[in-house]
Structure formats: C-alpha cells, structure tokens
Amino acid sequence: MEKMKVLDLMVTKDRFPKISDDTTFFDALVTLEKAQEKYLAGKAEQRILLVEDEHGKIVSKISPIDLMRGLEKQYEQINLGEIIRRSGLTYIWTAMQKDYRLWEDPFNDLCRKAIEVKIRNFIKAPGEGQIVGAEDALAKCFHLFVMNRHDSLFVVEDDEIIGLLRFSDVYKKVSKIMKACAL
C-alpha cells in the first residue's frame, strides 16, 4: 500500500456523468436524482456529477450538499465557518448564523431559485486540501480524507482535473489488504 499511487485507484473524468455550469438549480437536482437512481439500479458506476465550463473543462463536482449550500446565498460571505467548527469554537459559528441570518428564510423563494439560479453561482472550485496529483502517494490522500472529511479528491495534472480519487475506493483497497493479512 505504501507504494501505491493515486493513479492506481483514481477514476478518470470520462467515466463520470457531467453537467454544465450553466445548468439551473432545478435541472441539477433532477440530474443528481437520475444519477442516483441509475447507480442504485446498477446501471451506472458513478453518482457524482462533474461540472464542466463552456469549454468542456471540469471545474468542480456537485452533490446534494452543494445544492443545499446553493439555497442559502449568505454562505458566500462566510469563509471561516468550517475552520471555526473544526477548532471547537461553535459558539462563534452560532453567533455568525444569527448575524448573517442563515437559513432564516431559505425556502421562501424556492421555486424562483430553482429555475433562475445557475449552479456556477454557488459551486466551488476545489481547494488546496481537495487536490492531489496522479503520481502522489496514497499516504497523502489518507491525511486529506481524514482531516478534511471529503468523499473524493480531485486528481490534477498540468492544472487540469483528470479524475477523482473516491474515498470508497481507497477504503475498499485498505479493507481488502487488511483481510488478506489473516489476522
């Protein structure tokens, strides 16, 4: 396992369903649901949607939690929430929720948001803690998965996303190796 690289377990971008960053919130919701149904029925190997820009370049991925984040525009104003939560200072986070009036009325304008809001307005490009190289050792990925709680990491080569390393695949490999030890 020490010698395994990201390349050994990554899933290339061509194996994922894709969605345009120009897609509306509602269409993204429907597409995610269809991808989930196909996955559960065994008709698709992926349920993660990759997001591409107008040039076909992968810029992000979208999941149900991303959609929920898109309902509340105030999250764009806050970039410390995750850091505060992780450092155990949740009382500050609670105060910020009050100050920014987070989730006070997220459903008031739901139908308008569903057809007017484009996913490019709320998706996030992968951050430093979510990017690995194809030649990186899996040890680096273990740290990123555990510390940042991501379900997948973006695999980048020459500043372009070439695939994803899914936590589920890494977990399967670790499990298989441990079982082979015949403890």
CATH number at residue 64: 3.10.580.10
Q: Compute the CA torsion angle 14, 15, 16, 22 (nearest 10 deg).
A: 20
Q: What's the pLDDT at 90?
A: 59
- Residue 135 pLDDT more than 90? yes
CA–CA dist 17, 45 (Å, integer):
10
Q: What's the pLDDT at 113?
A: 67
Token code pair at residue 87: 């450092």
| Residue 77 burial (C-beta neighbours within 10 Å; 0-12, 13-18, 19+) | exposed
pLDDT category at 151 given cuts 50, 70, 90 is: confident
For 130, the domain range is 6-180
Residue 1 falls inside a structural domain = no
Residue 19 falls inside a structural domain = yes
Mean predicted confidence (pLDDT) in 134-139: 92
Residue 16 falls inside a structural domain = yes
> Which of 59, 65, 58 minimizes the C-alpha distance to 32?
65
Residue 107 falls inside a structural domain = yes
Angle at which helix 64-71 crosses helix 25-40, to 10 degrees, equals 160
State the chain's maximal CA–CA distance in angstroms: 57
Residue 153 falls inside a structural domain = yes
Residue 73 falls inside a structural domain = yes
Q: What's the pLDDT at 178?
A: 87
User: Could you read off the pLDDT of 3-61 as tens digits, one per residue?
Assistant: 889 999 999 999 999 999 999 988 999 999 999 899 899 998 888 899 999 999 999 99
User: Could you read off the pLDDT of 75-114 as tens digits, one per residue?
Assistant: 444 444 555 556 666 555 555 555 555 445 555 566 666 7
H/E stretch holding 63 reads none
CA–CA dist 19, 98 (Å, integer):
34
Q: What's the pLDDT at 73?
A: 56
Residue 126 falls inside a structural domain = yes
Q: What's the pLDDT at 31?
A: 94
Q: What's the pLDDT at 64?
A: 83
pTM value?
0.75
pLDDT category at 161 given cuts 50, 70, 90 is: very high
- Tally the domains of the chain: 1
Q: What's the pLDDT at 91?
A: 56
